[in-house]
Structure 1
Amino acid sequence: MLVVRPIKDSDFDVLMLCAEESGTGFTSLPVNYELLRDRINHSIDSFARNAISPGTESYLMVAEDTITGEIAGTTGIEAAIGLENFFYSYHISKVMHYSHRLNVHNIVEVLTFVNNYIGATKICTLFLRPRFRGGLHGRLLSKCRFLMFAQFPDKFSDIIFAEMRGVSDNEGHSPFWAWLQANFFSIEFTLADYLTGIGQKDFIADLMPKLPIYVNLLSDEAREVIGQVHEKTRPALRLLQKEGFACRGYIDIFDAGPTVECMRQNIDSIRRSFTARVKIAEHNSAQDYLICNNDFQLFRAIETQPGVDQKRNEVLIKQEVANALLVSEGDIVRLVAV
């Protein structure tokens, strides 16, 4: 059984392993000792802060096998983006060029360099190690964050968004970046992606074109990948789309992967979630649920098959499940059917 919990100092080595296994294009997990150490420390501080409104907090969690103690993957949340560092995107829009005299009009798409997600909550750093893929583990790592949003709404923004990894090849070459590099930059995609991951973003504002870019001026290869996701990211995108996330025309400035967003109260798992009182007992059930406890600083979430008594507003769980969630009989938990 996997249990999601806040990251600890002792998880550093496995977080570095996740960074190495994630590959190019996974900006939030760069292979950098100091940055990963800082991310762990910042997460520990953020959980301890117990914020009453969204700020610069960053919450990083891992999924741990309760039997072996092995870490299966990681998942994260940025409470409010853009309060200390700019968060850049391209926004896709349309303009019309019209000549009344010639009776000619052309509608063209343009990319505008923007910083429009200030204060929004970002879900990020979802990575499941290769040998744990398959089954329902990825669903737990993704949806546990929605239970956290539902249980502790004051700590997060009304707008939740995620950047989806765009198209690049096995060597880390991005067709979209190749066009930008040829016209505005002189560095490889892998270096630009790495610099962004470690927080060195000044070069973006310095070198990125400030005026809108006409999409029809891009290379064919660059145009084809706008708004497209990496093949390894498709399952994560489908999961978010089922939750109600959609692209509102924003894409990543490096690989043109789509940004998807949803109002917090409209996320499907949040709308369907409910709280119930714990009753520890043996039971038989075939319905899968995600369950989280009611302790933010000691947050725990698992996927299991509890017994649900809606009339009594009780959830029946076994002792090993209660142990994993750090709950006792009579405690309140939040759950959602999956």
Structure 2
Amino acid sequence: MLVIRPIEQRDLPTLKQIAIESGHGFTSLPVNDELLQNKINHSLASFASRAGGKGECLYFFVAEDSDTGEVLGTTALESAVGLSSPFYTYLLGKQVHSSRKLGIYNVVETLTLTNDYTGVSELCTLFLREPARHGMNGRLLSKSRFLFLAEFPELFDRRILAEMRGVSDDDGNSPFWSWLQEHFFSMDFPTVDYLTGIGQKGFIADLMPKYPIYVSLLSKQARAVIGKTHEKTRPALHLLEEEGFSWRGYVDIFDAGPSVECEVREIHTVRSSRQLRVHIGEPTQPGQYLISNGRFGDFRALLGDMAINEQQQAVISSKMASLLKVEDGDTVRVAEMKRND
């Protein structure tokens, strides 16, 4: 059984291996020991001292196999983006070129560089390792964050976004970036992806086009991938769409992958979750539930069988209670998972 918990210092070697496995385009996990250590430090500090409200905090979680102790996935929440360093996106919009005298009316698409998501919270760093890509593990890894959001809404913005990895090939070549590289940059996609991941974003403001880009001027290959998601990221996008996330025209400035967003209070799992008291026992006629212990620094979440008795208590097994670190009478947050979810 996979258990979601905050990242710890001992997870660094596995985190580095996950960064290698994640490949090109996964900006939030650069293969850089110092940066990965900084992420762990940031998360440890965020969990060690609970903020009074929304700050620049990182809540980084891992999925641990309860039988082997092996870390098989990562997922994270950033409370606010763009406060210390700019958070850039392109907005896909339209401009009208018309002449009534000549009877000409043309609508053209444009890409405009923005910082519109400044201060918005972000879902990030979702990665499930190959041996764990089966059953409901992907849903647990994605949806567990929503229980944390529901439990501690004061730590986050009213809106939350998720950047989806855009289209690139196995060698890290992005059709969208190839056009930008040809006209404005002299760096390949893996290089800019890495520089962004380690926080060296100054080149963006220095070299990125200052005016809106007419989409019609892009190469056919670049136009074709605007707002499109990498094939390995499509399952993650599908899960977010089920939760109520939608694309509103914002795309990544490097690979043109879509940024989807949702009001936190409108996320399906946030709305449907509820708090119940624990009763340890053998559940009769159980259903499948996403369950978290509701603690902050010692947060735990898992997916398992649970029943709700006549006293409106969450009936869970002693093994599950141990994994969640709860006892009789403690409070858990639960969200029912349909068997065909």
Q: Same fold (TM over 0.5)?
A: yes
Cα drift, residue 300 of structure 1: 0.4
In the alignment of these two chains, the number of paired residues is: 337
1:85 aligns with 2:92: no
- Report matched runs for 1:52-201 at 5 Å: 52-201=52-201
- Report matched runs for 1:199-278 at 5 Å: 199-278=199-278
Identity of aligned residues (%): 54
Cα drift, residue 49 of structure 1: 1.4
Partner of 2:327: 328
Q: Return the alpha-carbon distance in structure 2 between the equivalents of residues 312 and 87 of structure 1.
A: 48
Q: Return the alpha-carbon distance in structure 1 between the equivalents of residues 48 and 41 of structure 2.
A: 11
Spell out, residue by residue over 1:56-99, the C-alpha distance to the aligned partner (whole angstroms, 9 max, x if none). Answer: 10111101111111111110111111110100000011111010
1:226 alignment partner AA: I
TM-score, normalised via structure 2 length = 0.98
Partner of 1:313: 312
Q: CA contact under 8 A between 2:167 and 2:228: conserved in structure 1?
A: yes
Q: Return the alpha-carbon distance in structure 1 between the equivalents of residues 284 and 69 of structure 2.
A: 27
Q: CA contact under 8 A between 1:55 and 1:83: conserved in structure 2?
A: no
Secondary structure in structure 1 of the residue aligned to 2:269: helix
Q: Return the alpha-carbon distance in structure 2 between the equivalents of residues 181 and 286 of structure 1.
A: 55
Q: Return the alpha-carbon distance in structure 1 between the equivalents of residues 137 and 244 of structure 2.
A: 20
Q: CA contact under 8 A between 1:285 and 1:305: conserved in structure 2?
A: no
Partner of 1:291: 291
Q: CA contact under 8 A between 1:179 and 1:218: conserved in structure 2?
A: yes
1:183 alignment partner AA: H
Secondary structure in structure 2 of the residue aligned to 1:17: helix
Moved more, 279-288 or 268-277: 279-288
Cα drift, residue 230 of structure 1: 0.3
Q: CA contact under 8 A between 1:185 and 1:207: conserved in structure 2?
A: yes
Mark the runs of 5 or more structure 2 residues left unpaired by the alignment. Answer: none
Q: Return the alpha-carbon distance in structure 1 between the equivalents of residues 210 and 305 of structure 2.
A: 53
Q: Return the alpha-carbon distance in structure 2 between the equivalents of residues 86 and 196 of structure 1.
A: 11
Cα drift, residue 286 of structure 1: 4.6
1:182 alignment partner AA: E
- Report matched runs for 1:44-59 at 5 Å: 44-59=44-59
2:96 alignment partner AA: M
Cα drift, residue 284 of structure 1: 3.2
Mark the runs of 5 or more structure 1 residues left unpaired by the alignment. Answer: none
Q: Return the alpha-carbon distance in structure 1 between the equivalents of residues 72 and 290 of structure 2.
A: 17
2:116 alignment partner AA: N
Q: Return the alpha-carbon distance in structure 1 between the equivalents of residues 45 and 119 of structure 2.
A: 20
TM-score, normalised via structure 1 length = 0.99
Q: Return the alpha-carbon distance in structure 2 between the equivalents of residues 103 and 297 of structure 1.
A: 65
1:22 aligns with 2:22: yes
1:34 alignment partner AA: E
Q: Return the alpha-carbon distance in structure 2 between the equivalents of residues 210 and 23 of structure 1.
A: 30
2:28 alignment partner AA: S
Spell out, residue by residue over 1:254-304, the C-alpha distance to the aligned partner (whole angstroms, 9 max, x if none). Answer: 000000000000000111111100000012345211000121110000000
Q: Return the alpha-carbon distance in structure 1 between the equivalents of residues 285 and 23 of structure 2.
A: 39
Secondary structure in structure 2 of the residue aligned to 1:101: coil
2:256 alignment partner AA: A
Cα drift, residue 52 of structure 1: 2.2
2:33 alignment partner AA: Y
Q: Return the alpha-carbon distance in structure 2 between the equivalents of residues 122 and 25 of structure 1.
A: 17
Q: CA contact under 8 A between 1:167 and 1:174: conserved in structure 2?
A: yes
1:169 alignment partner AA: D
Q: Return the alpha-carbon distance in structure 2 between the equivalents of residues 291 and 210 of structure 1.
A: 47
Secondary structure in structure 2 of the residue aligned to 1:86: coil
Spell out, residue by residue over 1:285-324, the C-alpha distance to the aligned partner (whole angstroms, 9 max, x if none). Answer: 4521100012111000000011113x42200001111111
Query: Following superposition, which runs of at least 4 residues in structure 1 exceed 4 angstroms of deviation?
Result: none
Q: Return the alpha-carbon distance in structure 1 between the equivalents of residues 206 and 308 of structure 2.
A: 56
Q: Return the alpha-carbon distance in structure 2 between the equivalents of residues 180 and 278 of structure 1.
A: 55
Spell out, residue by residue over 1:120-171, the C-alpha distance to the aligned partner (whole angstroms, 9 max, x if none). Answer: 1100000011111111111111000000000111011100100000000010
Partner of 2:336: 337
Secondary structure in structure 1 of the residue aligned to 2:172: coil
